[in-house]
Amino acid sequence: MQIYAYLLNLVYCLLLACASPIILYRVLVQKKYRSGLAQKFLGQLPERNSDEPCLWFHAVSVGEVLQLPPLLEELKRQNPTLELVISTTTHTGYAVAKEKFPELTVCYFPLDFSWAAKRALQRIRPTAVILVEMELWPNFVLAADQSGIPVSIINGRLSEKSFRGYRKLRWLIGPLLNRLQLIAVQTDAYAERFQNLTGHVDRIQVTGSIKFDGIQVDRANRLTAELRSVFRLNSDETVLVAGSTQSPEEQIAVEVYLAARERFPKLRLILVPRHQERFNEVAELVMRKGLPLIRRSDQESEEAGAVLPFSTTQAPAIGLLDTLGELKSCWGLADFAFVGGSLTKRGGQNMIEPAGYGTALMLGPNTWNFKDVVDALLQHQAATIVQDQTAFQETLIQWLEDPRLAEDQGSRAQRFVLDQRGATLRTLALILPFISGGKSDSQDKAA
């Protein structure tokens, strides 16, 4: 086992050496990867001194972090002395976790060098480690196993593309997965893929997706109302939100918006880029076109008061949501939503949040990261696939001409979301036994 860890360390070092020019460029020029270096490379996570039970949740980035509040709230309600640690991989995930959980320990997940993984586990001393969705690192899992710390996956998903890749490495991935105490997955299809990799059905449980339980469905919530004031939206205006976008999806959304506004001057557009480092780039894109712009980050709280009407001779401002963790609330402004990463090769982004508000959904054709959710939405006639900019524009204009079409699709989407709830309590029942050092329900059934 020690030789295995050393070999992995060697492979990681070689990969870092090969990628070092790119990494240095991103550190020096793009100013990425600068925070949490001691935590990532050395495992110098905050040291926990208490002897109370502790669950360490690892949420890779923003999407996984935002799934956690309902589950953590219920855990603390049932176990007031339980300590919770949240780790993330990305800077944006870390920032959102600090904002969402100011009372909890938030840190970066260690890189998968054996020394970093061991040191991190020694400093946190968790009762159990819970991986949200799936980010599996061999040295970390092995170090936890050697220390007698159970590692589990909750809300797990395994896309067809990822499954094909893992299957080629089944000799490595299978034994690793078999060291996990619990693999709680979202769908039967995911369970079947994990079973194929592990060769076992024990410890694999289908719980549904906890994403549905934390979904906001009330457009009158406080944060959505605040954003409505910030972006100066009038009640008679129709709003298109293009969220979680990548280049060139913002350019496409702006061009579609301008074309539609020629016939529908009450249309407004709000852009929400996926990555923080592109906020300024998107702002410049809008201003180069000579269009007024409202940036969320420029608005002082006291300015988000009365809605200010625009001159009828001037196009209303495009909104740019350039803050972290607020997209969830921003979807509540949308009559129509385009979910980004789907006209690019990203594979799509989370479309459950706009669906929860009853928003009419448009998605590009590339949504393999959310294939099961998209298939279900399409089966319920609750989403529309747009193949390109032309289809995007045609669908938007069709909805503007006949708003009832959009309203009906949005209602079907919201009903679908409401019908999926309950995964949080099912997941909670599986991980509660870890707090006392016992077996999960899945282990009891397998025993």
List C-alpha distances in Å: 394 to 162, 240, 256, 398: 33, 14, 9, 6
- Residue 57's H or E segment, with its range, is strand 54-58
Query: Buried b / exposed e across 12-42, counting CB within 10 Å, b at 16+?
Result: beeeeeeeeeeeeeeeeeeebeeebeebbee
> How many other C-beta atoms can be found within 10 angstroms of the C-beta atom of residue 250?
25
**How is residue 225 written in tokens?**
């109302």
Q: What percent of the chain lies above the pLDDT cut of 90?
A: 78
pLDDT at 325: 87
Kindly report, residue by residue over 266-307, the tens digit of the pLDDT.
999 999 999 999 999 999 999 999 999 999 998 754 444 333
Q: Over 80: is that where the pLDDT of 151 sits?
A: yes
By the 10 Å C-beta count (0-12 exposed, 13-18 middle, 19+ buried), 313 is classed as: exposed
Length of the chain: 447
Average the pLDDT over 310-338 and give the result: 86
Average the pLDDT over 337-365 and give the result: 96
Q: Over 60: is that where the pLDDT of 147 sits?
A: yes
Dmax over CA atoms of the chain, in Å, equals: 73
> How many other C-beta atoms can be found within 10 angstroms of the C-beta atom of residue 233?
19
Q: 428 φ, ψ to 5°?
A: -60, -40
The residue among 299 and 68 whose pLDDT is bigger is: 68
- Rounded (5°) CA angle 334-269-309: 95
Q: Which of these, 141, 173, 158, 147, lies nearest to 58 by C-alpha position?
A: 141
Range of lowest pLDDT (210-219, 224-233, 248-257, 263-272): 210-219
Kindly report, residue by residue over 417-429, the tens digit of the pLDDT.
999 999 999 999 9
Domains of the chain are 35-213+422-442 (3.40.50.11720), 222-419 (3.40.50.2000)
Average the pLDDT over 321-329 and give the result: 93
By the 10 Å C-beta count (0-12 exposed, 13-18 middle, 19+ buried), 274 is classed as: buried
Average the pLDDT over 80-86 and give the result: 97
Q: Residue 143 and residue 122: Cα distance in Å, rounded?
A: 10
Q: Which of these, 217, 256, 234, 238, lies nearest to 403 by C-alpha position?
A: 238
Average the pLDDT over 12-38 and give the result: 74
pLDDT band of residue 309 (cuts 50, 70, 90) is very low
- Residue 351's H or E segment, with its range, is none
Q: Residue 383 and residue 351: Cα distance in Å, rounded?
A: 9
By the 10 Å C-beta count (0-12 exposed, 13-18 middle, 19+ buried), 302 is classed as: exposed
Are 129 and 54 a contacting pair, CB within 8 Å? no
Are 413 and 424 a contacting pair, CB within 8 Å? no
Task: Spell out where 174-309 has E strands.
Answer: 182-185, 204-206, 238-245, 267-273, 293-295
pLDDT at 191: 95
pLDDT at 293: 96
CA dihedral angle for residue 158, residue 163, residue 165, residue 167, rounded to 10 degrees = 130
pLDDT at 306: 35
Kindly report, residue by residue over 91-116, the tens digit of the pLDDT.
989 999 999 999 999 999 999 999 99
pLDDT at 302: 44
Please list the active-site residues.
64
Query: Positive or negative CA dihedral for 389, 392, 396, 402?
Result: positive
pLDDT band of residue 26 (cuts 50, 70, 90) is low
The residue among 370 and 270 whose pLDDT is bigger is: 270
pLDDT at 155: 95
Q: Which of these, 433, 42, 432, 420, lies nearest to 208 by C-alpha position?
A: 420
pLDDT band of residue 21 (cuts 50, 70, 90) is confident
Average the pLDDT over 391-413 and give the result: 98
Q: Over 60: is that where the pLDDT of 76 sits?
A: yes
pLDDT at 310: 41
Residue indicated by tokens 């994990």 = 194
Instruction: Report the half-sphere exposure of 198 (CA within 13 A, side-chain side).
Output: 19
